[in-house]
Amino acid sequence: MSKTLKILSRPKGNAEEYGRWAVNPYKGCSHNCAYCYLKKGVWANGLGGDTVQLKSGVVNDEHAYHLAIAEIIEHHDEIIRDGGLFMTFTSDPYLPETRGLTSRIVRECIQKYKVPVTLLTKRTDFLPIAEHRLRFEDVERCKDWSLSVGLFAKEWETLNKLLATGFTLTGHDELEPNASPNADRIKAMRFLNELKLNVWASIEPVIDFSSSLNMIYQALDAGCQHFKIGLLTNNTRVVRKDFQIGEHQFKAYDVRDLLHFIEDVMRITDGKATVYWKQSVRDLLGEELEWHIDIDPHSVDKDWSMFNNK
């Protein structure tokens, strides 16, 4: 009988829309995003708030690494069957404090165990580009770099098949004061796409429709292959009336504007990228959204995978 998971977790509810298995060695995130569930209410105590730290009961990074690998080995077949690992729900995988362990776990998953890994970040400074310029100059030279996961040119095809790097895009840097600017995340997507790697975007939360649509336009131009789109929630419920967090005011969604937004997204992504509309959108629109999805061949369900559709 399996022991209680310490580093891996089985997400439930809306989190499952990103992955059925998650790697969570750390809790807390220093981005200080105004809307983040890690810092609101009861979540702040359990998930670390703004302070990055290893999970309770984990001694150090070495301990976390060995725990993670042991759990990956134990549940290997289930993880493969369910589409791989997602990293991470309780922090950012590429914070200065977390990226070393992230790289080590991802490298082991891909090289040794052939486990697909999906990453989601708001950082761009993990990329090996001088002076953070994110300029693409020499693909072959870049292939010899580690790209933070220690895979070199001879394993490039494996990297392409088993790693998907995503960036959260809201278009609101003022709400994400310690994260990399949204413009840099777009540049990072372009860089990784030039290297023929899998890139995707989480358009969540949608703060306002015009900003999110602008981010989608830019991400498509940068080579984004897949979008997950979700609404702002307050205590896990879709925002249905205006509310405030600190100095930031958040507006409730207008259903008619949301429908126009969906139509715009379907039009501009047509044939260029797939789209998964998260449960928060479905909860607000109900059958109206299902009708839109039924006529859009590029809308996918939550079990769709970038890895299974190569």
| Token pair 């580690």 in the structure block, residue | 146
Q: Give the model confidence (pLDDT) of 140-186 as tens digits.
A: 555 544 444 445 545 666 777 899 999 999 999 999 999 999 999 99
Q: Which CATH number fits domain 8-128+135-229: 1.20.1050, 3.40.50, 3.30.70, 3.20.20?
A: 3.20.20
pTM listed for this prediction: 0.89
The contacts of residue 215 (CB under 8 Å, 6+ apart) are: 169, 170, 171, 182, 186, 201, 203
Model confidence over 240-279: pLDDT tens digits? 788 777 788 888 899 899 999 999 999 999 889 999 999 8
What are the residues whose beta carbons fall under 8 Å from the beta carbon of 85, sequence distance 6 or more? 8, 19, 21, 22, 23, 72, 79, 109, 115, 116, 117, 118
Domain ranges of the chain: 8-128+135-229
Give 28-69 pLDDT, tens digit per residue.
999 999 888 656 555 555 566 788 999 989 999 999 999 999
Please state, in angstroms and as integers, the Cα–Cα distance from residue 304 to each residue in 74, 254, 299, 310, following that order.
24, 29, 10, 11
**CA angle in degrees (0–180, nearest 5) for 6-8-10:** 115
Answer yes or no: is pLDDT of 134 > 60.
no
